Amino acid sequence: MKNKQLSAIVVGAGAGGGVMAKELAQSGIRVTLFERGDWPSYDKHINDELISQRVQELGSAFGPDWEKNPRVVRHDDGSEQLVTAQSYAYNHVAACVGSGTVSYGAMAWRFMPEDFKMKSVYGAVPGSTLADWPISYEDLAPYYDKAEQEIGVSGDMSQNPFAPNQHQSYPMPAFEYNRDGAFLDGVCREMGLHPFSIPMLRNSVPYNGRAGCIRNRTCCGFACPIDAKNGTHNTVIPTALATGNCELKTNSFVYHIETDGRRATAVSYFDADKKSHRLEADIIVVSASASETARLLLNSASSHFPKGIGNRNDWVGRNLQGHAYTGASGLFDFDLLDLSGPGACVAIMDYNHHNEGIIGGGVLCNEFYQLPYAFSQHRPPGAPRWGKAHKQYQRENYHRLGRMIGPIQEIPNFDSRVMVSDRVRDYWGVPVVVNTGSRHPIDEKHCNFLASKAEAILKKAGAYQTWQHGGGGGMTGGQHQAGTCRMGDDPATSVTDRFGRVHDLDNLYIADGSLMVTNGGFNPVLTILALAYRTGEHIVNQWSV
């Protein structure tokens, strides 16, 4: 209780923010955790084939409310387009307590040691801001351990020679394969590859006082009906609240950070009734996701920081990364689909690094699940999209499609970025996110590489028709958004130091996907959680005297 006098504000109750609130509150710091969304209540929220966090044609089940939160896309020719979650390149994760961790697929990847030193391993890439992280895998490893224990991961890497934690056990046993998983595992083995059961932030057995998974296939994009999927909303945030040191303000949108030039002093926020308030604190942590963290810093421009907080060198919002999902599908003449969830269960890390002529690579997994509507949007090239042929395809192939896909490691570039609009404001009158720029052209080659590997597996498996999908090109960001407030040792080319402290200020930290220098060839959440544990511990050590 020695820190009782200290107060902290954490902006955003998602992956990074949830962990941060717990770390600070447990050390005795008085925390106010702000979340623009609500608690995700299973009974209250709607989700179905057209409303989830994966298929959002009628809305995002876990936020944000598209009517109140427009964004802008700026195209290469300078033209701008107003976008919502239903349209192009809106680039959100979610907006509720837990954010993406409520509805995610829950794959729990550790990055590989190479992912922290991409430039040293592969050399500089023209037109790219590719760099090493200021920290190594070894620096982060203890915090990966912590995230796996506290949030809860099921898995077993003993059969995977590429896993940095091959000889270490997870708190829960690995999940069993479903039908296509078991089948593809066998095929990969025959090819000399190294398939394994995907580590998951999901209970394979009862854990932490909550139930074991019931293998619901509609898992990714949805909340778990029995709370067997582990996010910050059902682990660290309740722990933070139970300390008595943390107050959670839901439906509260932070729109400005005040500074005196050396320290961040207060935030301004709107409550659920759109009333504006101000709150001071000793320490401020921004965990609003790669897009919204950059937006908040840029919107907090003042006489001390005329270009926005942390933006002296124009790095805030830069190097936006996500993942081009790339892979292949194949049609089989026997049934592959069973309804044992969540679908994705087998993976290979054979193609993450050290591929001839490729910088990085990516993990390949089988698919989560496509409900019939989503399935109707996925066809081999040239296949009819409507009419009798469409219907026939739907019913003949729904149970007979196999797929291997994965996130390609994107090569960052300076012009792929988040800015704030000088014209468009949201419901609260706050300038909105502008997404602009595109992926580095080299990503295309990497995507083709991974897709061809995926296709080879499906061919070997006996698919009578195969095709590749998901190339590079276009804008990035999305649900794996990262990189907009890069951490680094040189303030000229980064926004925060190696602990996530914004260079210009003594007490302003970032703990979310924004920090990531590169985004790995893996889904990013475990790395975001681990970084937040590390920064949380650092803050406690720095500030407790």
Partner 1 sequence: MKSNRRQFIKQCMLLYGSVLFLPSCRPSAAPVWYSGFTAQEASAIDAICEQLIPADDYPGAREAGVIHYIDKLLYQRFPQHKQTYRQGLAGVEACSQALYGNSFAELTGAQQIAMLELMERGELPARYWPQTTQKAFFELILAHTMQGFYGSPRHGGNKDYVSYRMMKLDYPLLIGQNRYEK
Binding site for partner 1 (CB under 8 A): 42-43, 47-50, 57-59, 86, 214, 216-218, 222, 225, 339, 371-373, 375-377, 385-388, 390-392, 394-395, 398-399
Nearer of residues 286 and 451 to ligand FAD, judged by Cβ: 286
To the nearest whole angstrom, how small is the minimum distance from the Cβ of residue 369 to partner 1? Answer: 9
Q: Check binding of 99 to ligand FAD (CB under 6 A).
A: yes
To the nearest whole angstrom, how small is the minimum distance from the Cβ of residue 456 to ligand FAD? Answer: 24
Report the SS3 class of residue 417.
Answer: strand
Question: Chain-centre distance of CA 250, in angstroms?
Answer: 21
Nearer of residues 279 and 424 to partner 1, judged by Cβ: 424
Report the SS3 class of residue 207.
Answer: strand
Nearer of residues 384 and 462 to partner 1, judged by Cβ: 384
Backbone angles phi, psi at 241, to 5 degrees: -65, -35
- Out of partner 1, ligand FAD, none, what residue 53 binds, judged by CB under 5 to 8 A for its kind, is ligand FAD
Residues 191-250 touching ligand FAD, rule: CB under 6 A, are 220-221
Q: Which of 6, 8, 9, 15 binds ligand FAD (CB under 6 A)?
A: 15
Q: Which of 525, 530, 531, 539 binds ligand FAD (CB under 6 A)?
A: 525
SS (HEC) of 73-113: EECCCCCEEEECCCCCCCCCCCCECCCHHHHCCCECCCCCH
Report the SS3 class of residue 244.
Answer: coil
Specify whether the backbone of 42 is left (phi greater than 0), alpha (psi in -120 to 50) or beta. alpha
To the nearest whole angstrom, how small is the minimum distance from the Cβ of residue 59 to ligand FAD? Answer: 14
The answer to whether residues 312 and 272 touch, using CB atoms and an 8 Å cutoff, is no
Residues 47-76 touching ligand FAD, rule: CB under 6 A, are 53-54
Q: How far apart are CA 432 and CA 50, in angstroms?
A: 26
Q: Which of 26, 289, 370, 535 binds ligand FAD (CB under 6 A)?
A: 289
Nearer of residues 70 and 478 to partner 1, judged by Cβ: 70
To the nearest whole angstrom, how small is the minimum distance from the Cβ of residue 267 to ligand FAD? Answer: 9
Q: Check binding of 479 to ligand FAD (CB under 6 A).
A: yes
The answer to whether residues 242 and 250 touch, using CB atoms and an 8 Å cutoff, is no
Q: Check binding of 101 to ligand FAD (CB under 6 A).
A: yes
Q: Check binding of 264 to ligand FAD (CB under 6 A).
A: no
To the nearest whole angstrom, how small is the minimum distance from the Cβ of residue 488 to ligand FAD? Answer: 18
- Out of partner 1, ligand FAD, none, what residue 373 binds, judged by CB under 5 to 8 A for its kind, is partner 1
To the nearest whole angstrom, how small is the minimum distance from the Cβ of residue 386 to partner 1? Answer: 4
- Out of partner 1, ligand FAD, none, what residue 386 binds, judged by CB under 5 to 8 A for its kind, is partner 1
Q: How far apart are CA 322 and CA 223, in angstroms?
A: 23
Name the helix (H) or strand (E) containing 401.
Answer: strand 401-407
B/e letters for 113-142, b = 16+ CB within 10 Å, e = fewer, are ebbbbbbeebeebeebbbbbbbbebeebbe
Nearer of residues 3 and 292 to ligand FAD, judged by Cβ: 292
Question: Which 8-state DSSP code applies to residue 441?
Answer: T
- Out of partner 1, ligand FAD, none, what residue 216 binds, judged by CB under 5 to 8 A for its kind, is partner 1
The answer to whether residues 9 and 267 touch, using CB atoms and an 8 Å cutoff, is yes
Question: Which 8-state DSSP code applies to residue 198?
Answer: P
Nearest to 367 by CA among 405, 407, 409: 405
Q: How far apart are CA 9 and CA 29, in angstroms?
A: 10
Structure tokens at 437: 């720029």
Q: Which of 330, 512, 520, 535 binds ligand FAD (CB under 6 A)?
A: 512
Q: Which of 31, 37, 130, 521 binds ligand FAD (CB under 6 A)?
A: 37
Helices (H), 169-264: 179-190, 236-242
Which range, of 96-104, 131-139, 233-241, 413-421, touches ligand FAD by CB under 6 A? 96-104
Q: Which residue ranges make up the site for ligand FAD (CB under 6 A)?
A: 11-17, 34-37, 53-54, 93-96, 99-101, 103-107, 220-221, 253-254, 287-290, 292, 296, 479-480, 512-513, 523-526, 528
